[in-house]
Chain A
Amino acid sequence: MELFVFTCASIMVLVGALGVIFRKHPVHAALSLVLTLFGIAVLFVAQSAEFLAAVQVIVYAGAIVILFLFVIMLLGVDKAEDLRVEPLASQRWIAALVGVGMVGLLSAAVVSSADVLRVRGDGIADPVAGDNPDANIEQLANTIFSDYVFAFEITSVLLVVAVVGTVMLARRRTGKGLA
């Protein structure tokens, strides 16, 4: 069963990712990105990371892609790019070569180190096997709010800084006021 889920989700992920690269129109690329993000969410569920799958759908497929679409529409840059023009000579061949090399090296490293993988942690609660359907959320919350509570607080500061900075960047400068 997991093989079936993995195969379908992998096809979703790879087709979406290739669509992001090869579609000329930025809106089509953004919609292909949604396909990839949903595929990643399915793979999260298949690996018993239910909370992260929900966050993936809400934050990535919901918020971030909508933000991309808003910017595409608001800027009016939604005209198709001519992909036949190659700005730098032979850049694509070199990029393809780098890509093949990167896949080869990463895959070789992963496959050759497969037997190094072993259980080191305290175990992940499996909501499907156990009788507690909230096990994943509870375990993740226990970790984030105990071990990572300082990082969590810093993250909130980061979000506030990002919001204020974006407002300052995107506003129109009118009048002779500050900034």
Chain B
Amino acid sequence: MLSLVIAPTTTWYLVLAAVLFTIGAMGVLVRRNPLVMFMCIELMLNAVNLTFVSLGRAMADINGQAIVFFVMVVAAAEVVVGLGIIVSIMRRRSGINVDDLAELKG
């Protein structure tokens, strides 16, 4: 019966999204594999999507869901281009460590 009484409010969803965003940011800061770093960027994008949907429901505004639609499309394009860059870099070198990629440093 407890589950019928307590309903999660918008704040719960927003805090969950904040935790998810932070986990993704930590992954980008700590990991060295470019593929895993890309996955962590996806985590952050999903946290923002969850925030948009939650606030859209709280404010009874469909625009939150419309924005999430566009974020998903841009995320897909970003992953495609990013993985293409990773593939073309990894073809020339064997390591999978982003610390080794310092050619652009002046």
A residues near B, CB below 8 A?
Answer: 1-4, 6, 10, 13-14, 17-18, 20-21, 26, 29-30, 33, 36-37, 40, 43-44, 47-49, 51-52, 55-56, 59-60, 63-64, 67-68, 71-72, 74-75, 77, 81, 87, 91-92, 95-96, 98-99, 102-103, 106-107, 110-111, 114, 117-124, 136, 139-140, 143-144, 147-148, 151, 155, 158-159, 161-163, 165-166, 169-170
Contacts and interface: CB of A to CB of B under 8 A. Distances in A.
A111 B84 CA distance: 41
Interface of B: 2-4, 6-16, 18-27, 29-33, 35-36, 38-40, 42-43, 46, 49-50, 53-63, 65-66, 68-70, 72-81, 83-88, 90, 96-97, 99
Nearest to B54: A47
A162 B65 contact: no
Given A26-B33, A140-B69, A60 B46 contact: yes
A81 B33 contact: yes
Given A29-B36, A71-B35, A140-B65, A21 B26 contact: yes
A71 B86 contact: yes
Nearest to B27: A21
Contacts of B29: 91, 95, 98
A40 B49 contact: yes
Contacts of B73: 155, 158-159
Given A2-B7, A144-B69, A18 B54 contact: no
A68 B39 contact: yes
A166 B8 contact: no
A34 to B, nearest CB: 10
B18 to A, nearest CB: 4
A49 B53 contact: yes
Q: Which secondary structure dominates where chain A touches chain B?
A: helix
Contacts of A6: 8, 12-13
Contacts of A2: 3, 7-8
Contacts of B72: 52, 55-56, 59-60
A20 B50 contact: no
Nearest to A151: B70
Contact of A159 (B9, B14, B77): B77
Given A47-B54, A77-B96, A106-B18, A21 B62 contact: no
Contacts of B88: 169-170
A17 B72 CA distance: 18
Contact of B70 (A30, A121, A148): A148
Contact of B39 (A14, A33, A117): A33
